[in-house]
Amino acid sequence: MQTVYIKTELSCLVRNKKITVGDVCQVYAYEEKVAKKVREIELFRISKQEKQKISVSSLYVIRHIMDAVPDIMVVNLGEPDFLLEYKPPVQEKKWMDYLKAGVVGMIVFFGSAFTIMTFNEDANVALIFEKIYQNTGGNPSGNGWLELSYAIGLPLGILLFFNHFASAKLSSDPTPLQIQMRQYEQQEDTTIIENAARKGDRLE
């Protein structure tokens, strides 16, 4: 009796319609030929051409492996349930992506311009500058040094926070938005899996 270890990721992308065990998880066994055999076991076939997300229980995968290869033990080290994302192998429109990125970029650009202006107005930054000038014994209208350094400090702060400028990263850590993005995608996947479980259309 041989042990086969499989490791499933929360979501995996497939482009071919015939889905094998090797497409959805990593497989390890002491004898490579057993692992190879397991990888080639067919799980199911996608019937529709359109892109779709299918929620699969790891028990479904284990059952198929045990049915196909008798006398082995399967251990899953990955997710108990995972999402299978099928995308047909067609060329995606590149220009569409750039168009969308342009529109979102515009929204973010004007949006953050607006947000910082509402903040400055709300916090009454101009008045605070005036008070600082006055209380340091100078002319209340100031000499522009505070304004200048504030205007320099703000982009510096954003650079520090986002941790990069264009593609030149300040350090190799991911940026806060990349972390947020990853978290959002994980939550999205878990929600789809749980919804599917509740409706009973998970592959068990």
Partner 1 sequence: MTWWQNGSFLVIGLCGGLLVAGGMFAFLAMAGVVTRLAAGTKTAKFLLFYEDAALFGATVGNLWYIYQTGLPSGRLGLGLYGLGAGIFTGCLAAALAEVINMLPVLSERVSLKKGMTGIMVLFALGKLAGALFDLYFA
Closer CB to partner 1, 70 or 137, in the complex: 137
- Which span (5-13, 60-68, 69-77, 154-162) binds partner 1, by CB under 8 A? 154-162
Residues 42, 65: Cα–Cα separation, whole Å: 9
Minimum distance of partner 1 from residue 77's CB (angstroms)? 27
Q: How many CA atoms lie within 13 A of 101 on its CB side?
A: 6
Lookup: tokens for 148: 């200048």
Minimum distance of partner 1 from residue 140's CB (angstroms)? 12
Residues 67-126 that bind partner 1 (CB under 8 A): 97, 100-101, 103-117, 119-121, 125-126
Element spanning 14, H or E: strand 11-14
Residue with tokens 């199911």: 44
- Decide: 38 and 64 in contact? Cβ < 8 Å: no
Minimum distance of partner 1 from residue 52's CB (angstroms)? 15
Residues 54, 56: Cα–Cα separation, whole Å: 6
Residues 59, 61: Cα–Cα separation, whole Å: 5
Residues 156-195 that bind partner 1 (CB under 8 A): 156-162, 164-167, 175-178, 180-181, 184-185, 188
Minimum distance of partner 1 from residue 115's CB (angstroms)? 7
Minimum distance of partner 1 from residue 78's CB (angstroms)? 23
Report how far apart, in Å, the C-alpha atoms of 172 and of each of 17, 156, 162, 164 are.
37, 18, 12, 9
- Which span (7-15, 28-36, 37-45, 131-139) binds partner 1, by CB under 8 A? 131-139
DSSP 2: E
Residues at the contact surface with partner 1, assessed by CB under 8 A: 97, 100-101, 103-117, 119-121, 125-126, 132-133, 136-139, 142-143, 145-162, 164-167, 175-178, 180-181, 184-185, 188
